[in-house]
Every structure is written in structure tokens, then in C-alpha cells.
A and B are shown apart, each in its own frame.
Chain A
Amino acid sequence: MKNTIKVERAKNNMTQQDLAEKVSVSRQTINSIEAGKYVPSTVLSLKISKVFGVGLEEIFELEEGD
């Protein structure tokens, strides 16, 4: 699964730490999601899209092989 969290963070001028605190996870978690190493749960994905104020599908996108 691909995601545009890094881009959205840049648009909103947020660091990984800022986002992590807003969705109450550790910075490692955000880092791993951005790196594509971890697929977040539905709850966490919804929280992230809420922080950025955009739809879920604008941030997360299926890749070939998913």
C-alpha cells in the first residue's frame, strides 16, 4: 500500500513527531508507515486522514500485489 503522508505533512508543515502526537502513536510508527514498512490499522488510518482533513483514499492507495 502506498501513502502520501509525507507529502501531506509537508503541506501542513508538520513533523513526524507532531503527527505522532496528534494520533497518539510513537514517532517510530509514523516513520514506518511513511517508509511503507507498516500498514496501519483502519482506526489509525482514519485518525490520520482526519488530522489532514482529507479523504482516506487521497492518502492511502493500493499497489499492485496488494
Chain B
Amino acid sequence: MLTKILLPYQFQKIGWLLFVPVALLAFLALSIEFEFAWLQLNGIRESSLLDSADENFTNELAIVGLFLSLFFIAFSKEKLEDEYIQKIRLDSILFACYGYFILNVIGAVAFYGLGYFSFMLFNMFSIPVLFIVRFRWIMFRQRSSLSLAV
């Protein structure tokens, strides 16, 4: 009866191991425009009068890496995946979608111009991040309530 579309449990660990370096890379790339020299690949994109081609692919690496690690963390099975955990999973996805809608409304009202662009950039990650935070929090609370029960 259980859905088979989740990744094996081991991917959770791989996800966290990948998350730490790519989150650091994304932070550095966004805050101090850090770039790897070896990711400068010239001649791939065309620039226009107002738009530089930005042929350093550090940003791209950070974003793809972040999505990949968040995907691994969010959608890998628990050690013992059962119907109750699947229910918590579904509830958490709904929670994350609600959060995403609310954030979009707040963002549309509160930001404009370049600020809105940065908001959209961060908002890309709100669904997986909200899902993981909510799901992990419920699982943590489950575990701590277990120590009280016999």
C-alpha cells in the first residue's frame, strides 16, 4: 500500500552531507559574489547591450546543488517508513504549500524592483525548506513523546 516513489533511506545522509558545502557556496556566491575560476566557461552564452553573459557557472552549481540536496533530504524514506509517517509527510507538504502561497502574497506586497527579484530567488526554496522543517519537527516531537510512553 505504501508509495514506492521515495528514495532509499541512505539518501537522507547523502543529502545532508551535500547540503552543508552547497549551502555555504550559495551563501558566499550571493553575499560576496564568490566565483570559482574553473567554472568560468567562455563562449557559451551571448551577451547583449544591457545584459552581461555571466559565464561563470558558480551560481548555477550552487542552485542545482541546493535543489538536489534538499530533494534528497525531503524525499528519502525514514528508517521504518509506515502509513503514519506517510500521513505526516502529506500534511507537511500541504503545510509547505500554504506557507509558499502566504510568502508569495507577503512578498508581492512588501518588495518591489530588485528587492522583489532577490525575494523570488530565495522563495524558490521555500517549499522544500518549509517541508523539511515541519516534517523534521513533527518527527522530533514524536520521538520525544515516545520516551514518556511505555
Contacts and interface: CB of A to CB of B under 8 A. Distances in A.
Interface of A: 15-16, 24-29, 31-35, 38, 40-41, 43-44
B1 A41 contact: yes
A28 B83 contact: no
Interface residues on B, range: 10 to 19
A31 B143 CA distance: 10
A34 B24 CA distance: 43
Interface in B124-138: none
Interface of B: 1, 78, 80, 82-85, 87, 142-143, 145-146, 149-150
A29 B80 CA distance: 11
Given A15-B150, A16-B150, A28 B142 contact: yes
A43 B52 CA distance: 60
Contacts of B143: 28
Nearest to A9: B150
11 contacts: A25-B80, A25-B84, A26-B80, A26-B82, A28-B143, A28-B146, A31-B149, A33-B84, A35-B149, A41-B1, A41-B83
B12 to A, nearest CB: 15
A29 B2 CA distance: 15
B84 A26 contact: yes
